[in-house]
A and B are shown apart, each in its own frame.
Chain A
Amino acid sequence: ELKVEQNPLFLSMQEGKNYTIYCNYSTTSDRLYWYRQDPGKSLESLFVLLSNGAVKQEGRLMASLDTKARLSTLHITAAVHDLSATYFCAVDEIQGAQKLVFGQGTRLTINP
């Protein structure tokens, strides 16, 4: 059974600082997704990572994938308050079908 674990689960940081959220998963997969969720809202797609060594960046967020280590990271650079949200990673379990297994989520709070 595929397991996806994120850490930390809660993160409080100051504006302007850098930090990294880690996503470990338990089986071989090269399809890793990152989502953002604001309170009471749905999931917003951030990144889709599809191969070992993939790196994608959008604004202050950068995601990477190491399939050999079964690890993805979401790096936040010079955080701003607007990035406060819960971030989920998810692994697509089955090739050729859509079945995401989600991590527990990381609740990120960025303080002025």
Chain B
Amino acid sequence: KAGVTQTPRYLIKTRGQQVTLSCSPISGHRSVSWYQQTPGQGLQFLFEYFSETQRNKGNFPGRFSGRQFSNSRSEMNVSTLELGDSALYLCASSRASSGNTIYFGEGSWLTVV
């Protein structure tokens, strides 16, 4: 059974640019969530999607956005990149209801220079 797949794995961007990260959840999983991990702030929730609808959003500026497609695949976008956006971005998927195991992908390492 394939796990959560994230692309690209590594990328370097310049300040002011934008970036799009992609996530394919485990087959049958309809909930997809995104997290940012940095040494200073730890793991922080970005947003969660279910059936193409954003159900929850974390405390991040509007430059961070996402969407989910009908096949449950998800993308997140960060516009006008700042140095502080350098982080590991993790996508997670689970079945619909609470209490199910939440599986994480390998992550996308973003460096902003």
What residues of chain A have their CB less than 8 Å away from a CB belonging to chain B?
Answer: 31, 33, 35, 41-45, 48, 50, 88, 90, 92, 94-102, 104-105
List 7 A–B pairs whose Cβ atoms lie within 8 Å, in order of A's numbering: A31-B98, A31-B99, A33-B102, A95-B98, A97-B48, A99-B48, A99-B56
Number of A-B contacts (CB under 8 A): 64
Bound together, the chains give a CA A18 to CA B33 distance in angstroms of 35
User: What is the CB-to-nearest-CB distance from A4 to chain B, in angstroms, rounded to a whole number?
Assistant: 10
| CB–CB B56/A42 < 8 A | no
The interface residues of chain A lying within 8 Å CB-to-CB of B102 are 33, 45, 98, 100
Given contacts A43-B104, A44-B104, 20 further A-B contacts (CB under 8 A): A41-B106, A42-B90, A42-B106, A43-B90, A45-B101, A48-B99, A48-B100, A94-B98, A97-B48, A97-B55, A97-B98, A98-B94, A99-B45, A100-B33, A100-B35, A100-B102, A101-B45, A102-B35, A104-B42, A105-B43
The interface residues of chain A lying within 8 Å CB-to-CB of B55 are 97
Query: What is the interface residue range for chain B against chain A?
Result: 20 to 34
| CB–CB A42/B104 < 8 A | yes
0/1 string, B16-45, CB within 8 A of A gives 1: 000000000000000101010000001111
Identify the closest chain A residue to B88 (Cβ): A42
Which residues 55-96 of B sit at the A interface, judged by CB distance below 8 A? 55-56, 58, 90, 92, 94
Bound together, the chains give a CA A50 to CA B33 distance in angstroms of 20
| CB–CB B104/A92 < 8 A | no
Known A94-B56, A97-B55, A99-B33: A42·B48 in contact at CB below 8 Å: no
The interface residues of chain B lying within 8 Å CB-to-CB of A96 are 97-98
Bound together, the chains give a CA A81 to CA B57 distance in angstroms of 38
Name A42's contact: one of B44, B45, B100, B105 (CB within 8 Å).
B105
Bound together, the chains give a CA A96 to CA B35 distance in angstroms of 18
